[in-house]
Amino acid sequence: MNQQPFSISVYEVVGDSICVSQADGLRLFEVLKAALDEGCEVVLSFAGVESLTTSFLTAAVGQLLLHFSEDDLKNRLRARDLKKLHTELLGEVVKRSRLYYADREGYTLGRERVLEAA
């Protein structure tokens, strides 16, 4: 069966063009996770979003890596209507989340150097 991707509007979920808080990010995460748990392909639309922070995106998207493999997310989760800044923020969040979830216990980049300096 060839299903259409399920579209989720960030603006609709948050109810605001200002998407900055971790709490709002967690709300979006719950919606995303539920759709992905159902086996859907998801397209996340950022149309109408004015303000975005990495805190919001990390809560919403970054922690999906805890529940789904990166290959699975690569195949089933897409984004559209992104401003250039927001694309960059999303890229930074994905990059850091990869590092974080690859080594959650030891996510202490530069730790040795810092401890030496302390």
Residues engaged in binding other proteins (CB under 8 A): 16, 18, 20-24, 43-44, 47, 50-55, 58-59, 61-63, 66, 70, 73-74, 77-85, 87, 89-90, 92-94, 96-97, 99-100, 107-111, 114-115, 117-118
Nearer to other proteins, 1 or 65 (CB): 65
Q: Which value, in Å, is the radius of gyration of the alpha carbons in the chain?
A: 16
Both structure tokens of 43: 């397209």
- For 100, residues 6+ apart whose C-beta sits below 8 A from its C-beta are 62, 107
Nearer to other proteins, 9 or 63 (CB): 63
Contact 45, 7 (CB under 8 A): yes
Least distance from C-beta 103 to other proteins, angstroms?
Answer: 11
